[in-house]
Chains A and B, each alone.
Chain A
Amino acid sequence: MNIIEAKQLVHEFFRRDEEGNIEGIQVALNKVDLKVEAGQFISILGHNGSGKSTLAKHINALLTPSDGTLYVDGKDTADSNNELAIRQSAGMVFQNPDNQIIASIVEEDVGFGPENMGVPTDEIWERVERSLKSVGMWKYHAHSPNKLSGGQKQRVAIAGVMAMEPKCIILDEPTAMLDPDGRKEVIKVAHELNRKKGMTVILITHYMEEVVGSDYVYVMDKGKVVMEGEPRDIFSRVDELKSHRMDVPQITLLAHELKKSGLDIPDGILTREELINVLNLG
């Protein structure tokens, strides 16, 4: 069974004038079809304003469909009775690390979700320890989040979601505000959770190099899914990606340029090693 399944999902924002009359309609999601199987690592790529964050909010039932359907772990997000259950099965990490940490102590923040869910005290502690360990932040459990680096704050936020023991975790541009070290840290943790704990991960990003290890990639533009496939397949379509305001890693771009110059090079080169091999230098 698919853990997430969107069928022709539509989201419309209404723009209102000062009297509250509807001035215009902005379609943020336009008939989106999306399927995620349990245990997969999925990436959703798109530039700012492509609709990818709106989609993330739907998966967490923070928004509900204007049209079409979205099922998360078999539950319809349109039914408000499912709200809490959906948020438990699909946890969400946001972009700004400062604006999602509620408590002044790391461990208390991680315990916030379980507290809301009514988990018994002893079990909260077990969960907090387990999830902080899974993101490598246990030694900071008694620290103030203000003193942590951006990457560490995001790992705490991920632990906060893990402590709710969801089936799926949505990372909504978790690296957009981080430096390169922080970015690597967060992506590594996401992959580890997927590999070691079998956690389903949906990574939303505009950094191309972060999607390399994914099982499947969706590219969004103007509220639509415009490309989908395995990373290698997506990366091989350089010109198409560029038309959607996306970038490709330097090596992939170099291989693409070499091919255009007449060298016999296959599409979708991702690493230096691959490029050297296909260059056939003897």
Chain B
Amino acid sequence: MSLILDKVSYKYSTGTAYEVTALDQVSLKIEDGQFIGIIGHTGSGKSTLIQHLNGLLKATEGSIYYNGQDIYDKDYDLKDLRTQVGMVFQYPEHQLFETTVFEDVKFGPKNQGLDDKEATLRAYEALRSVGFPEDYYDQSPFELSGGQKRRAAIAGVLAMKPAVLILDEPTAGLDPKGRDEILGLISDMHKKTGNTVILVSHSMEDVANYVDRIIVMNDAKVYMDGTPKEVFGRAKDLEEIGLAVPEVTYLMMELKNRGWNVDVSATTVEEGKNEILKLKGMNA
């Protein structure tokens, strides 16, 4: 059970002077239950990549297999794939349209062909799992605060119970607390359900705290692929393409340069603290 990309390329405006290669021979294997961060600049191909995973974009070359089946097969049901590989777009609140939050969350399950009772159940579950306050279930989604809208929109995708959840910059435009809340929520859900989560982000710090695998995209290609420690261990290579490692990692590198024995793969405040306390001969 997995998602496999085999030499996937995506080009648009082919045959004109404006031809753009948005994905260039990308091969990846995404195992069940992984929590993956995809990082890269605007235009690195990360958004294009994730839109392939649920068949919204069709590769110009290469194949994609979901659970062993070629999704480009003639009789493959792409609509069904989209409910199994759920996608939360950037600023997902822009897709809200129903008269109440509750009805909006039911939209996905209803499209899956579930009956009203089952869809209602799903909506309850989804809204509860994103911590959406019950008092607002019957409110118009357009009257909510930014953070609440975001939650409602994410619930709209969760209600389809996707096996793979993709989130494109889910914290864009949120304040720090809102950002931590949303990321915490996604992480908790991942722990509880064990589903695959793919998180697209600009921010190294965001990703470092949660994921167990990082894919760095650059120039339409996979530039790095590994655990956060492996990826951040190559700070020079990341800087080469204009990305930075977490500040704590920089601090560790600097200490190491000055001859101190610290672990340069520390990325979070917690890990940094432990390293420094060790140096000072104190128990963390």
A and B, direct touch (CB closer than 8 Å): yes
User: A residues within 8 Å of B by Cβ?
Assistant: 47-49, 149-150, 176-177, 179-182, 206-208, 245-247, 249-251, 253-254, 257-258, 261-263, 272, 275-276, 279, 281
Give chain B nearest CB distance to A200 CB in angstroms. 25
Task: From known contacts A181-B41, A181-B242, A262-B282, infer whether A272 and B277 are also in contact, taking CB-CB under 8 Å.
Answer: no
Give chain B nearest CB distance to A236 CB in angstroms. 16
Task: From known contacts A179-B202, A272-B251, A276-B255, infer whether A48 and B178 are also in contact, taking CB-CB under 8 Å.
Answer: yes
Q: Beyond the given A251-B251, A257-B273, could you list 8 further A-B residue pairs with CB under 8 A, ordered by the A residue number?
A: A48-B147, A176-B173, A179-B41, A245-B176, A245-B177, A263-B280, A279-B279, A279-B280
B205 touches A250 (CB 8 A): yes
Which bucket holds chain B's interface residue count? 35 or more
* Cβ–Cβ < 8 Å partners of A247 in chain B: 176-177, 180
15 contacts between A and B (CB under 8 A): A48-B145, A150-B42, A177-B173, A179-B41, A179-B202, A181-B41, A245-B178, A251-B248, A254-B272, A258-B273, A261-B277, A263-B280, A276-B254, A276-B258, A281-B258
A-contacting residues, B138-187, CB 8 Å: 145-147, 172-178, 180
Give complex CA distance A206, B175 in Å. Answer: 6
- Kindly report which residue of chain B lies nearest to residue A207, judged by CB atoms: B176
* Cβ–Cβ < 8 Å partners of B84 in chain A: none
- Kindly report which residue of chain A lies nearest to residue B173, judged by CB atoms: A176
B246 touches A250 (CB 8 A): yes
* Cβ–Cβ < 8 Å partners of B250 in chain A: 272
B269 touches A253 (CB 8 A): yes
- Kindly report which residue of chain A lies nearest to residue B90, judged by CB atoms: A177
Give complex CA distance A28, B34 in Å. Answer: 43
Give complex CA distance A263, B178 in Å. Answer: 31
Give chain B nearest CB distance to A30 CB in angstroms. 18
Does B260 have its Cβ within 8 Å of any Cβ on chain A? yes
* Chain B CB within 10 Å, residue with most, of A149, A150, A263: A263
- Kindly report which residue of chain B lies nearest to residue A251, judged by CB atoms: B247
Give complex CA distance A206, B177 in Å. Answer: 10
B269 touches A257 (CB 8 A): yes
B202 touches A180 (CB 8 A): yes
B176 touches A206 (CB 8 A): yes
Give complex CA distance A39, B270 in Å. Answer: 40
What 7 A-B pairs are tightest by C-beta distance, nearest first? A247-B176, A245-B177, A47-B175, A250-B247, A206-B175, A48-B175, A272-B251
User: B residues within 8 Å of A by Cβ?
Assistant: 41-42, 145-147, 172-178, 180, 202-203, 205, 242, 244, 246-248, 250-251, 254-255, 258, 260, 269-270, 272-273, 276-277, 279-280, 282, 284
* Cβ–Cβ < 8 Å partners of A263 in chain B: 276-277, 280, 282
* Cβ–Cβ < 8 Å partners of A182 in chain B: 42
* Cβ–Cβ < 8 Å partners of A249 in chain B: 247
- Kindly report which residue of chain A lies nearest to residue B181, judged by CB atoms: A245
* Cβ–Cβ < 8 Å partners of B246 in chain A: 250
B147 touches A276 (CB 8 A): no
Give complex CA distance A206, B272 in Å. Answer: 25
Give complex CA distance A253, B272 in Å. Answer: 11
- Kindly report which residue of chain A lies nearest to residue B43, judged by CB atoms: A149
* Cβ–Cβ < 8 Å partners of B255 in chain A: 276, 281
Task: From known contacts A180-B202, A250-B205, infer whether A47 and B178 are also in contact, taking CB-CB under 8 Å.
Answer: yes
A254 touches B175 (CB 8 A): no
- Kindly report which residue of chain A lies nearest to residue B284, judged by CB atoms: A261
Give complex CA distance A178, B280 in Å. Answer: 40
A254 touches B173 (CB 8 A): no
Give complex CA distance A89, B131 in Å. Answer: 45
Give complex CA distance A88, B255 in Å. Answer: 50
Give complex CA distance A281, B262 in Å. Answer: 12
B248 touches A47 (CB 8 A): no
Q: Which of A180, A246, A272, A281 contacts B279 (CB 8 A)?
A: A281
